Structure 1
Amino acid sequence: MLEKQEIIDLKQTLALCASVCEDCAAVGFSRIQYGTLKKWWPTDRDYADVCALTASLLMLSSDMDYARLLNCEKACRMCAEVCSGYDQEHCRICAKICLKCADICRSYYQRLKV
């Protein structure tokens, strides 16, 4: 079980990642033609939703909820992969933050599964 401060820190990391994904999607939406946009914009928003939902579920503090960290890790890695394929600064930032969040989710999960 995580300590209260660890849960707060993890929630802040997840919230930051969700916010960066939302920002990336918003900037992309305003800059890219819809034909190209429709390939990644909805998924960027979906990844943000996964982070936000994971942060919300952490407050329940049950062991089953911690397994959701693996789903969040996967979503963050997928988002990073998508965003790393674009040259825009907002995409590079999103990819970097998502990779960091994925690593943190994996780290916390590894500690909890023992």
Structure 2
Amino acid sequence: MNTQHQSLLDALNACVAACENCASACLQEDDVKMMAPCIALDRDCADICALTARLLSRGSEHAWHLLRECAEICRLCGEECAKHAHAHCQACAAACRRCEEACRQGMTA
């Protein structure tokens, strides 16, 4: 696997971890109902990033089909998390932005 693929895998896996952490932390916030959109996007983003990473790791041609959707969900999740001042949301937003960019670069490779 070349370094570009490794960089993409690193971004995908970091995004999974950040989204899972954010969703778990959001569930501990005082107003969980207000955090529901954030939690839902965190979960969707973690799932699509994990699936994309698994397919990419095994060399599946289908991984490349998922990159566009992965980038889109990362964008949406990052935008939602950026709305919240919580440190876990800000960290997640940053990881999502990095992953979105990595996915977009991967689409052109």
State the shift of 1:18 in Å.
0.5
Matched, 1:52 2:47: no
Say which of 18, 29, 34 aligns to 1:36.
34
CA distance in 1, matches of 2:105, 2:55: 18
Whole-Å Cα distance in 2 between the matches of residues 106 and 52 of structure 1?
Answer: 16
Alpha-carbon spacing, 1:10–1:39, altered in 2? closer, same or farther (3 Å): closer
Which segments of 5 or more consecutive residues in structure 2 lack a partner in the other structure?
Answer: none
The residue aligned with 2:24 is 26
Alignment identity in percent? 32
Which residue, out of 65, 70, 81, partners 2:79? Answer: 81
C-alpha distance in 2 between matches for 1:19 and 1:62 = 22
Q: Note the C-alpha offset of 1:31.
A: 1.3
2: CA distance between counterparts of 1:85 and 1:10?
A: 26
Partner AA of 1:53 in structure 2:
L
Cα displacement string for residues 22-57 of structure 1 (whole angstroms, at most 9, x for unaligned residues): 101111111132321323312211111111010001
Q: CA deviation at 1:62?
A: 4.0
Structure 1 stretches of 5 or more lacking a match?
Answer: none
Counterpart of 1:71 (choices 44, 48, 69) is 69
Instruction: Please list every run of at least 4 consecutive aligned residues from structure 1 whose deviation after the TM superposition is greater than 6 angstroms.
Output: none
State whether structure 2 residue 88 is matched by structure 1 residue 90: yes
Per mean C-alpha deviation after superposition, the further-off stretch among 77-86 and 38-47 is 38-47
Aligned to 1:102: 100
Larger Rg: 1
CA, structure 1 residues 41+32, in 2 after alignment: closer, same or farther (shift >3 Å)?
A: farther
RMSD of aligned alpha carbons:
1.6
Counterparts of 1:108 and 1:39 in 2: how far apart (Å)? 28
Q: Distance in 1 between matches of 2:8 and 2:37?
A: 30
